[in-house]
Amino acid sequence: MQTTPQTPRRYDLGGCTITLVSGGSLKLDGGAMFGIIPKPLWNRLTPADERNRIQLACNCLLVEWAHETDRRVIVETGHGPQYGEKEQEIFAIDPTAWLLPQLEALGVDPATITDVVVSHLHFDHCGGLTRERDGRPVPTFPNARVHVQRREFEDARAQFGMMTQTYREESYRPIDEINAWNLLDGEEAIVEGIRPLLTPGHTGGHHSIIIAGRDRCAVFGGDVMPTRHHLGPPYGMAYDLFPLENRASKEKLLKTVADRDGLLVIDHEPGTPVVRVTPEGDYYTLTDAT
């Protein structure tokens, strides 16, 4: 199934725009997605299918500047195209509906992308870094630097995760071959206007990504808070390596967005993934952003 994008959702940050681009979709077990939360609670928010899976999106961003610059940036790459029949079935992944066809439908040549930032290296976030050509994986963005925290890179290589197959070699090897990794050690700027916000918990080296325009900023959260239904402090995933650290990171993320009156982009939200964050009582509420 080839997907044609609807009118792209684009947000002006002042001299810089972010465009929401689909990196595909998948289904994961609802229980695993909500950790300690009992099914009667989460199932009301996001009903499970007959195999107990819930629908998730893989949201990505294209970042462009109005002024003359040689930079064109992608944040997150979704699940990518390289899945066998069994995996397509388990995760309900359509391997033809991923980031590259969506970008091309927007008229974006992947060779013009200069930088790709991923929150972490699980397959549903970095699978779009590579694709298959002539039977072997090659980089999707041949001219891009790929930015990730060094700790995440090392943990991925050590397969440090809750599940086998969460870190997939075919997503990295082609990037090794063109020596395109830029390994980060903290919150240093990646390119002008874009910097990481360290938000460990889901993985030890997980970061969120702050994109600052002249007028406002947007923060791509990553898997700190995968859907709008994961707002509450105990609403974590069973996949989180350090659940309490993730809770603290979620507060940090929400506070960062609220303090700056910015936009929060929620990575796996299948509904409206760009929201504003408003303090309410001793916590926060989310509202659709325009």
Q: Could you say which residues in the range 1-20 bind Zn ion, by CB under 5 A? A: none
| Closest to Zn ion by CB, 17 or 77 | 77
**Piece in contact with Zn ion (CB under 5 A), picked from 28-36, 122-130, 177-185, 242-250:** 122-130
| φ/ψ (deg, to 5) at 127 | -60, -30
Select from 76, 115, 155, 223 the one that contacts Zn ion (CB under 5 A).
223
Q: How many residues bind Zn ion (CB under 5 A)?
A: 2
Cβ atoms of residues 134 and 54 within 8 Å: no
H or E stretch including 70? Answer: none
Q: Of 88, 101, 81, which is closest to residue 22 (Cα–Cα)?
A: 101
Of residues 17 and 59, the one with the C-beta less far from Zn ion: 59
From the CB of 257, what's the least distance to Zn ion, in Å? Answer: 19
With respect to Zn ion, which residue has the nearer C-beta, 124 or 152?
A: 124
Amino acid at 19: T
**Pairs from 278-283 (Cβ < 8 Å, separation ≥ 24):** 283/233
Nearer to Zn ion, 17 or 223 (CB): 223
Residue-wise burial string across 8-41, b where 16 or more C-beta atoms lie within 10 A, e elsewhere: ebebebeebbbbbbbbbbbbbebbebbbebeeee
Stretch that binds Zn ion, among 35-43, 116-124, 138-146, 192-200 (CB under 5 A): 116-124
| Of residues 223 and 240, the one with the C-beta less far from Zn ion | 223
Name the segment binding Zn ion (CB under 5 A); options: 40-48, 216-224, 250-258, 281-289. 216-224
Asked whether the beta carbons of 238 and 32 are under 8 A apart, the reply is yes
- Residue 60's closest CA among 118, 140, 139? 118
CB within 8 A of 255, min separation 6: which ones?
Answer: none
* Nearest C-alpha neighbor of 130 from the set 120, 119, 138: 138
Q: Which is nearer to Zn ion, 21 or 191 (CB)?
A: 21
CB of 215 to Zn ion, least distance (A): 30
φ, ψ for residue 26, nearest 5 deg: -155, 170
Q: Are 162 and 156 in contact (CB under 8 A)?
A: no
> Nearer to Zn ion by C-beta: 65 or 83?
83
Q: Which one of 5-13, 72-80, 100-108, 124-132 is the stretch in contact with Zn ion (CB under 5 A)?
A: 124-132
CB of 232 to Zn ion, least distance (A): 19
Among 76, 115, 124, 269, binds Zn ion (CB under 5 A): 124
Binding mask 45-74 for Zn ion (x = CB under 5 A): ------------------------------
Stretch that binds Zn ion, among 40-48, 120-128, 161-169, 206-214 (CB under 5 A): 120-128
Of the two residues 13 and 99, which places its CB atom closer to Zn ion in the complex?
99
Q: What single DSSP character describes residue 239? A: T
Reduce the DSSP state of residue 87 to 3 states and report it. Answer: helix
Is residue 269 at the binding interface for Zn ion, with CB under 5 A as the rule? Answer: no
Q: Provide the minimum distance between the beta carbon of 179 and Zn ion in the complex, in angstroms, as a whole number.
A: 26
Q: Which residues bind Zn ion (CB under 5 A)?
A: 124, 223
